[in-house]
Amino acid sequence: MNTTDTTIPLVHASLGEQELAAVAEVFASGWPAGQGPRGKALESLLAARYHAGGAVAVSNCGAALHLAMLALGVKPGDEVIVADYTFPAPAHAVRYVGATPVFADVRADTGTVDPQAVLDLIGPRTVGVIAVDTVGLPADYAPLRETAARHGLFLVEDAACAVGATYRGQEAGALAEVACLSFHGRKGASSGEGGALIATDPAIAADARLRSSFGIGSIFDQAQIVGLPIPEFTEIGYNFKLSDIAAAILQVQIGRIDELLKRRSAVAQRYAELLADEDLLTLPHVPEDRTHAWQSYMVTLDESVDRAALATDLRAQGIGCGHGTWATHLQPVFAGGQTCPVSADLFRRNLAIPMHAELGADQVERVADVLRTALRTHARPA
């Protein structure tokens, strides 16, 4: 393996002095735990950004999806249609509440859920749809919203990867009645771990906020009351709170999102220029009516390329890479006889190459050069 001076990681969080200063302020405040002043400020910032009825800061996007299913009343016996080609968190959330995930295939060009596939899967037990903004690219929300409205279904936007992306001029995170965000270390805005639920209906946000704190609400708020208030547990809740330390980091990160996204977009543009004529892979496709947040940069390899051997070669030369994301229906925990052939094909042939805001121009060029050579080394003769 090459030295760290020549290693180019797949992901790298853009955290620095501004974030450290914000954390120091939290330490000085004496309240590092969840649902304190910084958490409340972050929720206000998110609600304003997404023109929402409410925002709830939580420990991760998986928690936000779980809370969304609870707040929307999903119960055992219900079916929820979920985009298949994604990290399996949406399907997990459906299972958490005892319901059944039904997997919808995706578009071959974008990897986002196919609206026709969703329409074809609606049955008597269907109560809602979870669309996914695949690795930062928003799904086709106009037809999805029309289908949900016509059939009386809820629509949830899993915008985990898409903070800063847009669809028809509207920001990802504001494309459905409930949206779930992630602030994991590889996202465009990050606190290492973290998430948020964004809701147009304040009642849904209030339900999620209560359940995220064991069903008793904010201990910080209760501590401000004179006397000795003793909260009552009126709901079965969870410990999904986001610490004020993470919330302080995210206030800075959300303020920097335009700058960080501009840098990621420049990396994507340079990859597109360097690899435009490479016939052993297909570059990401971004429809004209939307913009990409570039959480990942995924190329689709030609059938002739041995992906495992290619990845081994890239890593041996210090180039980070990954398989992309998952065809959820193929995972053993969700085995049930469904087929999503497009998703399965993308799962087999996609490759993620380094994408983050800290990549320099020379690093991007090196990735492209090494990738080009490795593709020819690991492609079967025609």
Q: Which residues are catalytic?
A: 187
SS3 338: coil
311 contacts: CB under 8 Å, gap ≥ 6:
321, 322, 323, 351
Q: What angle do CA 50, 100, 325 make, to 5 degrees?
A: 60
CA-nearest of 246, 255, 193 to 61 is 193
Are the CB atoms for 158 and 131 separated by under 8 Å? yes
315: enclosing H helix or E strand: helix 307-316
**From CA 148, how far away is CA 94, in angstroms rounded?**
17
Decide: residue 207, CB within 10 A, 0-12 exposed, 13-18 middle, 19+ buried.
buried
**From CA 337, how far away is CA 329, in angstroms rounded?**
8
Token representation of residue 122 = 């609606």
**From CA 323, how far away is CA 330, in angstroms rounded?**
15
Token representation of residue 210 = 């209560």
CA-nearest of 282, 296, 340, 312 to 91 is 340
Are the CB atoms for 34 and 257 separated by under 8 Å? no
SS3 349: helix
